[in-house]
Structure 1
């Protein structure tokens, strides 16, 4: 939490006390400054009592609880990218064979059994969780691979691909841990990680509608310890398709347990001084076990619930004007402000970062690069044309005009508003894309249908939704072309079907 945010929390509490007293909710006093003497201050947090200007024992306890809860809420919001990526790290490390440096590949694409924030059904994913506490790790990257290596805070150490460190030619990457003083052999592209837990993430596109070529390319990658470079062990691969793999962080007090483990294991310098103060004030101190008592754990559980409630308001009911993609549509930006570091306004905007982090992962500069015909762009919506949240029991239709501005492909994917993962229904892949063979209209446009039952004869253009489940849509543009950027082309809104 930034020092500015901490000051805001303290000012709000102070203002509440003063307002309650000055407005007549407290006992009468002739003190013009509003200073509390022998008074009761009735606030939304409870009644605070003072005698001769001093707080009673109950008041001290109450106010400390308020501060602990409020600071924990701010820590929840500020550290969401880190705790989220740690959940990914744990989920991948614990999948399948649970071997060191195993590479999990969704060989038959990602289906709804995988819990991953806004994963894509039309992209082949590969993920490996690595631990540098035992020393440097080598990643052998084949040519034409796309991806990157991120530390536990979702900060990119390496980009991989045409715009990455290997320039699309592949090579041997060497990631060294903090403070490493050992010998670095020649022939490696070296990256210095600020922390010990890192994630290697790659993706590949379908060829002729099939994942085979992308999977074969990923299986040329090798991940092993530098100490084993002379005789690298056989690479362990796990097929993630069709498996229950959970990579999403909790909205309970366990969130703070995970953060406590990160703080205990990672260098303190990974966090800013103001972050460290905020975390220390709720018992999260570098190098010390996190052992909250029952009373504190209750406050942390409340903070996680309030923090997650705010995250949903912040993400699904954002009031940030720059989120709107088209002035006359309900589509919104996933990266509000267009900056992967969230500092487009001259300072890190924690609300924008948290809005992204609650529903998505992967803060790579390539995701915000506006390169024509390269990379990807994303827009999303959780509302229909009238501004109502999308309801799983209602039938809808989305009109997509002809000449979709992509060099590679486009996709429409539906997600569960609760889990922010692929919506689980009778369809294993809740999506329609260029690869799934939707039926075009006579003018080349498409009508995509959403609802618990598909319209007759429209199965190729229908995505099943589930009653009593909210849902939202991401539209992806891979290799976006000029009409996307200048907005001379734009999709329709999602309309209630007649």
Structure 2
């Protein structure tokens, strides 16, 4: 069926195209990122071919031009192609140190985790297998990870306690390996789209080609059938090469409408915590859109799934827009704020106190990092301290177990305050609190992060 036919008027085509953007933008964003990682690299990571890890040289530091990059984690990233068969993943023994490997399918669904919460910190070998695989599993492997799509991103984060800890991290990087076990050659790139498609229809062409090569779950396919009048289910030659001006206009308006819908939802996420002035903002349920694939380390429970499948498509689109490859809230919770307890913007011209009584309840670790605003970058400070948390040596706790952190551009004169000091930029700044393996009290709101209190003028 030619796109736009079947009795649909331009306004109906526009509305359907907007729905298609909400539904399909996570696939296009995810695979565009995969393509970029293969060709140009990603953030602090150099490009790497399919089925090979790219490793960061260390945690983020001043000069790292990646917004809000963590100062106490080292990134690892691999793009898996399983079209030629399974891949064997070797995970080293981290000696109890935190790490996580998060598996994300082509549609942006986090469908498996390896790490202390899910599988412990010991050495292991895992088989990552393509959809429908029915081969023999070797006795020596720790388990099987069933991939929903033949291309998968493995997003790794290794805890690092500073420059002196990097030799340990580098040794782990050397042992984190992938071996292609398939009996056929795997891809060297993603399926190609038609070259003659007008630029304004490029999104629909990418969605058409990639939907066919990376089909979603059966439940989503039923939803996908609605987009037949747009040409998204056409095979072979692209229907967009010779699309008429009326169809191009209707699709273009739908694309703009869909983008606006996602942008508005991203600015006002329904599950973000609100609260009083200066309250920390968290979005623990941004990854709950995965409704079909629950592998190792994922939680298939009402608390962590969205009951309305249609509503899940918008959440998935917002997740792809706001934070690609962020984990589920039960793996890590990220909190941020830009104002103090009286609603005033945070600025390095002032001093601030954050009193944690008690410190946040986590099973792994928590840390606080400060970035400039609006850039989201680390700023050089004389102390060369860019994160403070429960792994920071020498912190001074109160007699009741509380911890008071001091945030200021100038070094405190009191030695006790200096021990708990986190330098901030001279101008506007934004602190980010990362809570790895948060306890239930953090997730259900029984533990409330206190706002920053401004001291002095």
What is the TM-score normalised by the length of structure 1?
0.63
Task: Specify whether residues 409 and 332 from structure 1 end up closer, same or farther in structure 2 by C-alpha distance, changes over 3 A only.
Answer: closer
Post-superposition Cα deviations, 1:126-166, rounded to whole Å, max 9, x if no partner, equal 010111122222212223452132321233443212343x4
Maintained 8 Å contact 1:118/1:415 = no
Q: Give, in whole Å, the separation in 2 of the partners of 1:195 and 1:268.
A: 8
Maintained 8 Å contact 1:131/1:198 = yes
Maintained 8 Å contact 2:59/2:160 = no
Q: Give, in whole Å, the separation in 2 of the partners of 1:307 and 1:465.
A: 36
Maintained 8 Å contact 1:122/1:433 = no
* Equivalent residue runs for 1:173-184 within 5 Å: 173-184=126-137
Match of 2:9, SS state, is helix
What is aligned with 2:332? 376
Match of 1:134, SS state, is coil
1:346 equivalenced with 2:303 (yes/no): no
Q: Give, in whole Å, the separation in 1 of the partners of 2:317 and 2:171.
A: 36
Maintained 8 Å contact 1:412/1:473 = yes
What is aligned with 2:367? 410
Structure 1 residue 473, shift from structure 2 partner: 5.2
What is aligned with 1:120? 70
Maintained 8 Å contact 1:425/1:465 = no
2:149 to 187, 191, 195: 195
Match of 1:281, SS state, is helix
Q: Which has the higher contact order (CA 8 A, sep 6+)?
A: 2
Structure 1 residue 220, shift from structure 2 partner: 0.3
2:24 to 63, 76, 79: 79
* Equivalent residue runs for 1:260-409 within 5 Å: 260-267=208-215, 269=217, 272-285=220-233, 287-288=235-236, 290-292=238-240, 293=243, 295=245, 296-318=247-269, 320=270, 322-324=271-273, 326=275, 329-336=278-285, 339=288, 341=290, 346-348=307-309, 349-350=311-312, 351-362=314-325, 364=327, 367-369=328-330, 375-381=331-337, 399-403=353-357, 404-405=359-360, 408-409=365-366
Maintained 8 Å contact 1:122/1:206 = yes
Q: Give, in whole Å, the separation in 2 of the partners of 1:441 and 1:253.
A: 59
- C-alpha RMSD of matched pairs (Å): 4.5
Q: Give, in whole Å, the separation in 2 of the partners of 1:472 and 1:273.
A: 41
Maintained 8 Å contact 1:109/1:211 = no
What is the TM-score normalised by the length of structure 2?
0.68
Maintained 8 Å contact 1:110/1:119 = yes
Maintained 8 Å contact 2:91/2:125 = yes
Q: Give, in whole Å, the separation in 1 of the partners of 2:339 and 2:227.
A: 36
Task: Specify whether residues 160 and 61 from structure 1 end up closer, same or farther in structure 2 by C-alpha distance, changes over 3 A only.
Answer: closer
Larger Rg: 1
Match of 1:323, SS state, is coil
Structure 1 residue 62, shift from structure 2 partner: 12
Structure 1 residue 462, shift from structure 2 partner: 1.0
Q: Give, in whole Å, the separation in 2 of the partners of 1:135 and 1:462.
A: 49
Maintained 8 Å contact 2:73/2:159 = yes
Structure 1 residue 193, shift from structure 2 partner: 2.0
What is aligned with 1:205? 159
Match of 2:140, SS state, is coil
Task: Specify whether residues 381 and 278 from structure 1 end up closer, same or farther in structure 2 by C-alpha distance, changes over 3 A only.
Answer: farther
Q: Give, in whole Å, the separation in 1 of the partners of 2:124 and 2:290.
A: 28
Structure 1 residue 86, shift from structure 2 partner: 1.8
Q: Give, in whole Å, the separation in 2 of the partners of 1:252 and 1:430.
A: 46
What is aligned with 1:240? none
Maintained 8 Å contact 2:14/2:251 = yes
What 5-or-longer segments of structure 2 have no aligned partner? 185-198, 292-301, 413-420
Number of aligned residue pairs: give it: 393
Q: Give, in whole Å, the separation in 2 of the partners of 1:312 and 1:265.
A: 28
What 5-or-longer segments of structure 1 have no aligned partner? 1-59, 230-250, 370-374, 450-454
* Equivalent residue runs for 1:455-466 within 5 Å: 455-457=409-411, 460-463=422-425
